Amino acid sequence: MQAKVDSNSSRQEALAKTAWKWVALGFPSSKTQQNEREKQQHDINNWKSVQIVLLAWLMPDNMKWGRSHANMWRLCATIAALNALHDMVKYNDKRRQLRVICRGLGYGVQKSIITGQFRNKEWYVFVQVVFSTFWAPQNFSAKIQAVTYYMWAMQQKAWYVGKAELIRESGDPSSRFREHMLNTFKPHETCGREKRYQTWKGAPMHTLCFIPFAWGYEEEILMYERHITNSLQAPMQDRVKYGSYVVSKFRPWKRFRKTPTIAKELELNQCIHLRKKCVKIQRKKWDSAPNQRLWTTL
């Protein structure tokens, strides 16, 4: 029986690795430039179909809570991360909220996504770290205790930033993804009333995206979550005190806005902002600015 369980888990991890190879290469296509978008859409639709089947099995209509198969949920979280990166890579030039989300990533990762250049160390390391977050959290250093993640639904402008422990009693960060899915589509008396769940409920299950992007001490990850909430003005943080928000700036009307460029977008990267803040403030702890950890080098 143990051998059978191990065989099943290896199959799910092998399927996840197959998907992640496509991500590591930057979602390439073997066809010409004219038919490239059609080919890429066909590939992403294949993985969306897999996600539909997995979620239909994990959360059937005739079950109150759904199934708790750990490796299946890890596979779902991996495909949700694939959907998130594909959404950012292919549509950041058309959807402003995706460009805003990218500003919280490492400078090299943001540059890779915006420019479409994926043959670099920063993108490769980031992709491998995301995969290990779901499938091998025990390989991280003891100093890495928590992760910060984004979650949103395709075709929706609202997005959410949260924090999850790297190694939890119930599993790994994929367990946090499972909690969000159950609270959204199978709510009960005490959970599922938050703003984010009410917003995601109107979207198909397979369109929800989940991507970890920062790793470090639990304390500094909480600080970085707060920093992202304030600086990027996250729209679905219903547990943040009103007084802790940074006052939003007036945005000029569309006809008065300057044309966005890659250089201007990269200047808004939050890791670069924190590095400049480290030079100005010579102390170990400061408000909403964590120490430089793995995410600052990506």
**Mean pLDDT for back-to-back runs of 10 residues, the chain (298 residues):** 50 91 84 50 82 94 87 95 95 91 92 92 92 90 89 93 85 89 84 85 94 89 86 78 59 83 88 67 40 40
Predicted pLDDT of residue 3: 40
Predicted pLDDT of residue 159: 94
Residues 6 or more apart whose CB falls under 8 angstroms from that of 181 comprise 55, 59, 76, 205, 208
Predicted pLDDT of residue 195: 86
Predicted pLDDT of residue 28: 84
Predicted pLDDT of residue 40: 53
Predicted pLDDT of residue 132: 92
Tell me the C-alpha distance between 40 and 202, whole Å: 26
Tell me the C-alpha distance between 133 and 16, whole Å: 13
Predicted pLDDT of residue 295: 42
Return the domain boundaries, the chain: 2-239+261-297
